[in-house]
Amino acid sequence: MSTSVLVINCGSSSIKYALVSERREDRIFGLAENLGSADARIKGVTMGGAALELSIPHADHEKALETILERLAHHNPQAIGHRVVHGGTLTKAELLTPEIIERIREATPLAPLHNPAHLVGIEATMRLFPELPQVAVFDTAFHQTMPSHAYRYALPKFLYTQHNVRRYGFHGTSHAYVSERGSMLAGSFKQGGWLTAHLGNGSSTCAIWNGQSVDTSMGLTPLEGVVMGTRSGDVDPSIHSFLASNLGWDIYKIDKMLNSQSGLLGLSDLSNDMRTLIEASEQGNEDAALAIEVFCYRLAKSLAGLSCGLPRIDGLFFTGGIGENSAYIREKTVSYLPHFGFNLSKELNDNLKRGTEGRIDHGTGPQIWVVPTDEEGRIAKETEHVVDEVTASATKKSDAEAAIA
């Protein structure tokens, strides 16, 4: 299969879409937002780069998907690839069948904010386009190669064996793409030991050995790990009993605080947006400066910890909105890893053009690269791969049946 794949990422009131063809520059993409409200609309970019803005008042997921597909139908997508955050113990992208949809539903308690929204999108596209092959690509799948000493919590065994309580990891599509692309740029495709730092509104780190994830910062849910826009990252789990006993908070309030009011926003009491914090700290805002410092220090600590999973470190890849665009955050983070022998070039780091890939070290010690992530491209590639595999095995089966007949 060689033409285009429609990539869909359904949130609770939004749908991100991208029509991915072989040429990255031909990509059509957009966002349907405020679904279910009078203000529902689609904003995007058409072929050739023209802006698109379309009002779709009160449209739900199904109506929005119908509108998106109507507009894209003449590009003749060959398949649909759905981003699904939690695949439970599914280890790779899968063709959507009733059984796989059930497995996604079963993983809902592990991703209560994400999986139900994905299921709405999946069910709508299956109803609207029953003839198109559809594939689920999981954020968790790439991390299924982690060894048990990395994915098990030191908790009673039955919580793992009977209730699947373990570390899963997320952002797998991004870590997989960036480590593959980065190791290729470094001349050692899928070989050696690499650390990736995906730094956006959600952030995570990963250790990759010979192309496989061996450890990552996120855990049972995307709350564990480094400091994020509004998520706390690691905290002492006793925070729950402390807040319940002393402030009378219930579990929902604590969960909301840890997920939506913490991280950069909580520390700075100003914003979850790194650009805003950098500007504020330059103007003397001490809370913003502290938020940045905690972010970089804890990030470096996470990378240092993950390095235990690697026999050797060949280098570090930065990606995500912050990792790709902020030389300041990259420099500060590397400065907290003095004993790893990284030799960042201030000139190369400062001068790297936004949105481009490039090496930013002096050429001695472990390499440091910026690699813009491409989750949509990776989802499209995995979707094509699954469809090709299914087609090949169906052809083989019908050949075998013809031979017997």
Q: Which H helix or E strand runs over 66?
A: helix 61-72
Q: How far is the CB of 1 from ligand AMP (least distance, A)?
A: 29
Packed helices 172-185 and 375-404: angle between N→C axes, nearest 10 degrees: 100
Catalytic machinery residues: 139
Q: Closest CB to ligand AMP among 104 and 264?
A: 264
Q: Are 238 and 262 in contact (CB under 8 A)?
A: no
Among 77, 219, 320, 372, binds ligand AMP (CB under 6 A): 320
Packed helices 327-335 and 286-306: angle between N→C axes, nearest 10 degrees: 60
Q: Closest CB to ligand AMP among 279 and 389?
A: 279
Q: Are 349 and 328 in contact (CB under 8 A)?
A: no
Provide the 8-state DSSP code for 238: T
**Of 20-28, 76-84, 320-328, 357-365, which part binds ligand AMP (CB under 6 A)?**
320-328
Question: How many other CB atoms are found less than 10 A from the CB of residue 159?
Answer: 13
Cα Rg, the chain, nearest whole Å:
22
**Of 49-57, 187-195, 296-304, 315-323, which part binds ligand AMP (CB under 6 A)?**
315-323
Residues 256-295 touching ligand AMP, rule: CB under 6 A, are 273-275, 278
Task: Give Cα separations from 203 to 17, 31, 206, 231, 263 (angstroms).
Answer: 21, 21, 10, 9, 11
Q: How far is the CB of 273 from ligand AMP (least distance, A)?
A: 4
Q: Closest CB to ligand AMP among 90 and 327?
A: 327
Q: How far is the CB of 203 from ligand AMP (least distance, A)?
A: 8
Q: How far is the CB of 171 from ligand AMP (least distance, A)?
A: 10
Q: How far is the CB of 264 from ligand AMP (least distance, A)?
A: 7
Q: Closest CB to ligand AMP among 140 and 204?
A: 204
Q: Closest CB to ligand AMP among 277 and 380?
A: 277
Q: Are 141 and 383 in contact (CB under 8 A)?
A: no
Q: Are 176 and 141 in contact (CB under 8 A)?
A: no
10-15-16-21 Cα dihedral, nearest 10 degrees: 80
Backbone phi, psi, residue 5, to 5° = -120, 135
Query: What separation, in Å, do the N-terminal and C-terminal C-alpha atoms of the chain show?
Result: 29
Question: How many other CB atoms are found less than 10 A from the CB of residue 245?
Answer: 10
Q: Could you give the string, one character per residue 321-350, with x where binding to ligand AMP holds by CB under 6 A and - elsewhere? A: xx--xx------------------------
- Can you tell me whether residue 371 is helix, strand or coil? coil
Q: Closest CB to ligand AMP among 273 and 293?
A: 273
Q: How far is the CB of 228 from ligand AMP (least distance, A)?
A: 9
Backbone phi, psi, residue 22, to 5° = -65, -35
Sign of CA dihedral 385, 387, 388, 393: positive
Q: Closest CB to ligand AMP among 56 and 296?
A: 296
Residues 126-185 touching ligand AMP, rule: CB under 6 A, are none
Among 200, 266, 309, 372, binds ligand AMP (CB under 6 A): 200
Separation between Cα atoms, residue 120 and residue 130, nearest integer Å: 15
- Residues in the site for ligand AMP, rule: CB under 6 A? 200-201, 229, 273-275, 278, 320-322, 325-326
